[in-house]
Structure 1
């Protein structure tokens, strides 16, 4: 009976945390990190400030928890997409779209996007860098498998799977920053993937 009550309390707490983090994201997007207050987040979550402080000691702790949740959710979905069936480039394009949708696109409409990304690197750099390492590993493994089955040919580029995966990551960074100047995150990513597909697709007769 005691264990059952503990499980119920844990589930209720998990739901409360999710409620807070879901409410916090649009508040950060609207006001930026510096101008957002715990009172703003509590109001958006429909709870009191006292209740909010029972879950998070500070705005910084809450922001870090949100970053961890977003990165974990994104990478789980990316892994599932890359492990699926079908054309390698279709799967990689879908995986990158998931990564961008979860971690970049939510901030695209914010005038404080650069500040929010800077806050993330200041408060959750370890989470972000670990996620990038995991994404790089997954892309490298996917490219390596495609090269082994001759679905792609890296010889013309004189590149290894890990080098190509690193180029993809660098392109994603560049495209992310270009969108603040009016470029389309989705369109630019699709263009890059088309160029990459042309570069490594085996020529007929090979």
Structure 2
């Protein structure tokens, strides 16, 4: 098996194991079994469970940010593109972990093992949202004058709202509905 395909195969197999058992309770043997490879083969690819988890975080964040950027680069209504981009971010990074009974542990583990990856992705997300909103202000598609806000402030507010929704246990399986409601309020507030 080609090395990149082997790594992808292992990471694909590992995610459901982490989601099911959490980071702490998952062993390298569990991951090897899920990937249908020997533990020795797994250890040739990754020295530790921490290294494997970090590699999974890097791959997920890199893929997601490429998809988010592609959505925002499309033509059409800016707020609809922002909403679509936020949904991509949530579906690819948050929802798979949020559905786990160990979601809080998995999010905490990600911040412990891959804070640089997570912060870099969020910074990129903030920047592309700000650019999209600034372009929409320039064309008159949205108006931030009544709120006396800047595109950077609005982008930060969007991320803060989405982060709050993510951590709300009341949102639970209704995460996407809560995000749509948040974006509906935003659309009403900024549309001239």
TM value normalised by structure 1: 0.91
> Of 162, 165, 176, which aligns to 2:155?
165
Q: Does 1:117 align with 2:120?
A: no
Q: Which runs of 4+ in 1 moved over 4 A?
A: none
Larger Rg: 1
Calculate the aligned-residue CA RMSD, in Å: 1.1
Q: How does 1:1-206 map to 2 (within 5 A)?
A: 12-179=2-169, 182=172, 184-202=174-192
Where does the alignment leave 5 or more consecutive residues of structure 1 unmatched? 1-8
Q: Distance in 2 between matches of 1:180 and 1:30?
A: 21
Instruction: Output the CA distance in 2 between the equivalents of 1:135 and 1:98.
Output: 11
Q: TM-score, normalised by structure 2?
A: 0.98
CA contact (8 A) 2:99 2:173 kept: no
Asked if the contact 1:29/1:107 (under 8 Å) is kept, the reply is: yes
CA distance in 2, matches of 1:153, 1:192: 18
Contact 2:17/2:26 (8 A) holds in 1: yes
* Alpha-carbon distance in structure 1 between the residues aligned to 2:106 and 2:172: 18
> How many residues in Structure 1 have an aligned counterpart in Structure 2?
192
